[in-house]
């Protein structure tokens, strides 16, 4: 009897230990550290085909990496971009139009960043232009676009709920309408921003500093569009969020992984590192993605 009892105790211990290891393995992992090395890198996005990725390298603008034979290439600088211009957050339009959105201080060095766009045809980058009908006198950034061309972004403009709010500018007849605040469902009296809208426009992931339902100084939350209304945002869970800040979310075109940057302080300096986690190991409801 004692032997049987001992056997069951050992069995329970092994099951708990294995379950714990599986849970640990399910958490986000650092993505291609051999490519990003010791760089301060963030805002990863991909072309709709999933074979080219873009990142922002601090003080050095936009870089890309290409998937070749199952391996990501070393980073290559994007010709039109410069760290001196404070280019950030390059987002390819998911409709394959060749239009890319980003934030920059171009034409206004020393002033708040604003939203810009650039077109690429036959692998050649055009001349960047500002989104004058959208930009404010304050900082506007982290653009994300759905397949219908509707533009989501954050702004520190006056009239919001807090230090930064989420906004949308709808594309109607080829023109962007005046931006609208996404409301108190998303925005708090703190800093809310860095929105990622899924191509179908039914799920929105964003960063918030609110303390409710949070793990640390800043977490990623998700909201779903149900009957044309956004649901109450939900924390993406402990396989994504930690006591550190998780920022700049993006879901790959294959709907397999969520990518984001985790912010640390190393010897007093800010260091952002790209992580990824399988969507099935997060709180994301796949039924709203496809």
Q: What pLDDT is attached to residue 26? A: 52
Q: What pLDDT is attached to residue 32? A: 98
Q: Domains of the chain by range and CATH?
A: 30-288 (2.120.10.30)
CA 76, distance to chain mean position in Å, is: 21
Query: DSSP labels for 51-94?
Result: SEEEEEETTTEEEEEEEETTEEPPPEE-TT--GGGT-EEEEE-T
Most confident of 7-21, 189-203, 258-272: 189-203
> pLDDT digits over 155-200, tens only?
999 999 999 999 999 999 999 999 999 999 999 999 999 999 999 9
Q: Which of helix, strand or coil describes residue 210?
A: coil
Q: Which residues does residue 217 pair with via DSSP β-bridges, in sequence order?
A: none
Helix or strand holding residue 14 (H, E): helix 2-26
Q: Which residues does residue 269 pair with via DSSP β-bridges, in sequence order?
A: 266
Cα gap 32→276, rounded to integer Å: 10
Q: What pLDDT is attached to residue 21? A: 35
> pLDDT digits over 48-57, tens only?
999 999 999 9
Q: What pLDDT is attached to residue 71? A: 97
| Average pLDDT along the chain | 90
Q: Which residues does residue 155 pair with via DSSP β-bridges, in sequence order?
A: 140, 165
Neighbours of 133 (CB within 10 A): 12
Residue whose C-alpha is closest to residue 154's, from 146, 164, 145: 164
> pLDDT digits over 61-92, tens only?
999 999 999 999 999 999 999 888 889 999 99
User: What is the band of 261 on the pLDDT scale with cuts at 50, 70, 90?
Assistant: very high
Residue 23, pLDDT above cutoff 90? no
- Take residue 187 and report the two structure tokens written for it: 């925005």
Residues 6+ apart with CB under 8 A from 287: none
Cα gap 206→34, rounded to integer Å: 28
3-state SS of the chain is CHHHHHHHHHHHHHHHHHHHHHHHHHCCEECCHHHHCCCCEEEEEECCCCCEEEEEECCCEEEEEEEECCEECCCEECCCCCHHHCCEEEEECCCCCCEEEEEECCCCCCCCCEEEEEEEECCEECCCEECCCCCCCCCEEEEEECCCCCEEEEECCCCCCCCEEEEEECEECCEECCCEECCCCCCCCCEEEEEEECCCCCEEEEEECCCCCCCCCEEEEEEEEECCEECCCEECCCCCCCCCEEEEEEECCCCCEEEEEEEEEECCEEEEEEEEEEHHHCCCCHHHCC
What average pLDDT does this structure show over 230-258? Answer: 96
> pLDDT digits over 87-138, tens only?
999 999 999 899 999 999 997 777 899 999 999 998 899 999 999 999 999 9
């Amino acid at each position: 009897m004692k032997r049987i009892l001992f056997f069951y105790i050992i069995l329970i211990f092994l099951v708990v230990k294995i379950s714990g290891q599986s849970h640990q393995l399910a958490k986000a992992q650092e993505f291609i550290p051999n490519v990003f090395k010791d760089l301060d890198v963030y805002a990863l996005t991909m072309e709709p085909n999933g074979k080219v990725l873009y990142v922002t390298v601090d003080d050095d603008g936009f870089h890309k990496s290409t998937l070749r034979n199952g391996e990501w290439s070393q980073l290559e600088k994007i010709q039109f971009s410069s760290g001196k211009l404070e280019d950030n957050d390059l987002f390819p339009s998911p409709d394959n139009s060749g239009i890319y959105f980003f934030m920059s201080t171009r034409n206004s060095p020393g002033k708040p960043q604003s939203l810009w766009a650039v077109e690429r045809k036959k692998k050649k980058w055009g001349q960047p232009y500002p989104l004058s009908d959208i930009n404010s006198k304050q900082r506007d950034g982290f653009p994300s676009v759905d397949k219908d061309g509707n533009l989501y972004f954050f702004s520190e403009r006056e009239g919001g709920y807090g230090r930064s709010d989420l906004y949308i500018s709808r594309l109607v007849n080829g023109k962007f309408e005046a931006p609208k605040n996404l409301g108190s469902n998303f925005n708090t009296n703190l800093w809310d921003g860095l929105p990622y809208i899924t191509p179908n426009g039914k799920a929105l992931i964003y960063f918030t500093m609110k303390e409710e339902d949070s793990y640390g100084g800043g977490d990623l939350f998700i909201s779903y569009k149900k009957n044309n209304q956004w649901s109450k945002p939900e924390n993406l869970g402990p396989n994504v969020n930690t006591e550190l800040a998780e920022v700049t979310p993006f879901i790959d075109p294959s709907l397999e992984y969520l990518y984001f940057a985790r912010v640390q302080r190393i010897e007093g300096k800010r260091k952002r590192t790209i992580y990824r986690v399988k969507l099935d190991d997060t709180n994301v409801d796949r039924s709203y993605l496809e």
